[in-house]
Amino acid sequence: NDDPLWLMAAAEAATVAGDQSGYRRLRQLARTLAERDAPVFWNSYIGLFQGIPTYLAAKNAGLPAWMEPTDIFECMALADNVARTIAATSLQALDSFYGLAANGYLPVTPDSLRRNINTRMWLPNLGRYSGLLYGSPAYPVQLLSSDNAAMALAILGGVASDAMTETAVRRTPVADTGIGHCTPEWNDTLPAAPPSGLLRQALWTAVCARSGNEAAYSSAVAALLYRRLHLLTADSRPTDGSADRAVTSLILRGLLGMRFIAGGIEFAPFVPENLPGEKVVEGLRYRRSTLTIRISGTGNAISTFTIDGTPAEPFLPADMEGNHTVTITLAGASALRGVANITESAGNAMPPPPRVSWNNERTAAILPSGGNGDSRYLVYLNGTLAEEIYRDSYTLYDAPETTTALFAPVNSDNATGFAGAPYTYIPTGQRITIPAAAVGRTGTRIVSDKTAAARLVEQNRYRNRNMTFEVEAPRAGTYLLDVRYINGLGIVNRQRRAVLRRLEVNSQPAGTLVFPQLSAAWWDKNLGEQWQELAARTNSLPVRLESGSNTVTIRYHQPSPVYLDPAHNTVLIESINLTFLHS
């Protein structure tokens, strides 16, 4: 889902443009997106949005092969959550500037989402953000690798604190060619310098400027210019303008330190000491004015700032019209000399996830999927790091409650990779299974076997549109609810679009169930015959049940705008499962 990134960019463009009529259209669209996205992607149990941007879902991005669509859907990406926070913050600032009534763009306040990001995704021992939470919607595990573009956005967008910014800039490894896609890299087969790397480097350069770290900033500027010059002599050059935009970003966001707000432009210039001399930007159009900006000196301490020769605060009001000249003189001093983590490469690759085979309910064999064969793993139980082991087997303790276990490999460079597929141990009496035939009208023409059809409930816009039933909970607490359904309905759903259903518990919204329809071509993954398995499970939703009777409703949902033909919006449900987590 790239809507959050698009909305963040659109809100920034609206802030720069100052077009109130255009902004009114944008805020209405933002409200529509919020109403559509929150029921589907918001994980109220964790306090973050689920889903990942498309660049992390690409075939070579590095997600583990065990992840099926429901596993990917349950992931919580730094990029999406940061983009939503920045977009909502910008939109609220514009609402205030234009005197418009407050508009709800998130299920929570931007400050609340910001706190949740920093609590759930910051890795204090590593000095960076986790790029992804994965493995369970109730007990997600932090991936010990950053998404560096998303981390840069978190810093530039004010999500990260000053202390986090200083630590990230000081500790993130940077090579001569710039910062890597991730730290450590998710996939060692990614191109060394894809065109998108220039834009990522431009973001990181602005981050280093914001931090005031002279050493890191100088190295970031050098890496960006090196990449740009390399492209000038390369046989194949990007034709999308990304190279020029990266240099423009360096000038505006880095050297001039321009930050756009609704009322004008704030300046916080920073020129590294190895780029002395006067620099001139001419013909820069901003709303109803055309600017010439002259900057001389180095460092980030402003000696003089004038507008048309008149001393002023480092701020240009948005209501200025016509031609104007801004002159900036820097005092030649930096607030922080700083250090940079310069390395031969931007980061090592993560080890591949292991293959985990559970011999019985509590004993696992852990098989490395390549690498040097080291048997070193971090053991996560219910999302918490429980221990580090140096063996290829594990025995789970006799847990009294439902426990999800994951094993993340650690290589000789101390890089930690994705864990193997999660395993959930469910003690006796902790799971409730409700046959669909007990709560809905059975029978379907889709399945020719009448015995099998009698166990299934077909749900579409005509049949069982709203399945409402009672669940007797032996005790109050949080349960994970999932639905077992028939997979691969290519006869009905020819494009194999994911079917969505809204869940309500005791008349309160409880999230969205996703019913992917797999095919042999899904991601070109080597699934063998797995895609043809008759039954599959939806994503799991944490729900609160009271002791005794609870009313559960699975509602038919037709997305708008329509991406799935209503005639194909059909699912065959076999059972509903509820697993007790805790009181």
Q: Is the pLDDT reported for residue 392 higher than 60?
A: yes
- Give tens-digit pLDDT for 499-512: 899 999 999 999 99
User: DSSP letters along 45-74, please?
Assistant: TTTEE-B--HHHHSTTS---TT--HHHHHH
Residue 157 amino acid letter: G
Query: According to the model, what pLDDT value does residue 488 have?
Result: 61
φ and ψ at residue 310, rounded to 5 degrees:
-100, 125
User: Would you state the pLDDT for residue 191?
Assistant: 45
The pLDDT, as a whole number, for residue 209 is 93
Question: Domains (ranges, CATH) in the chain?
Answer: 1-147 (no CATH), 355-425 (2.60.40.10), 431-582 (2.60.120.260)
CA distance 49 to 40: 9
Residue 547 identity? S
pLDDT at 496: 52
Q: What is the pLDDT of residues 166-223, one digit of tens each?
A: 999 999 988 888 888 899 988 655 544 444 678 889 999 999 999 999 999 999 998 8
pLDDT of residue 521: 47
Contacts of 106 (CB under 8 A, 6+ apart): 34, 38, 84, 85, 88, 113
Mean pLDDT of the chain: 88
* More confident site: 76 or 446: 76
pLDDT digits (tens, 9 = 90+) for 513-537: 999 876 544 444 444 444 445 688 9
Q: Give the range with max mean pLDDT: 147-151, 231-235, 338-342, 493-497.
A: 147-151
What amino acid occupies position 116? N
pLDDT digits (tens, 9 = 90+) for 419-430: 999 999 999 999
Please give the torsion angle defined by the CA atoms of residues 56, 62, 67 and 68, in that order, rounded to the nearest 10 degrees. 60
List all residues 6 or more positions away from 148 whose beta carbon is below 8 Å from its beta carbon: 172, 179, 180, 181, 182, 183, 200, 204
Mean pLDDT of the 113-125 span = 98
Angle (CA) 171 172 174, round 5°:
120
Q: Residue 437 corresponds to which tokens in the numbers above?
A: 């035939």
3-class SS letters over 383-402: CEEEEEECCCEEECCCCCCC
Mean pLDDT of 264-285: 95
Identify the weakest region by mean pLDDT among 21-25, 89-93, 460-464.
460-464
492: pLDDT strictly greater than 80: no
Residue 413: predicted pLDDT: 87
Q: Going by C-beta distance under 8 Å and a sequence separation of 6 or more, which residues neighbour residue 127?
A: 167, 168, 170, 171, 172
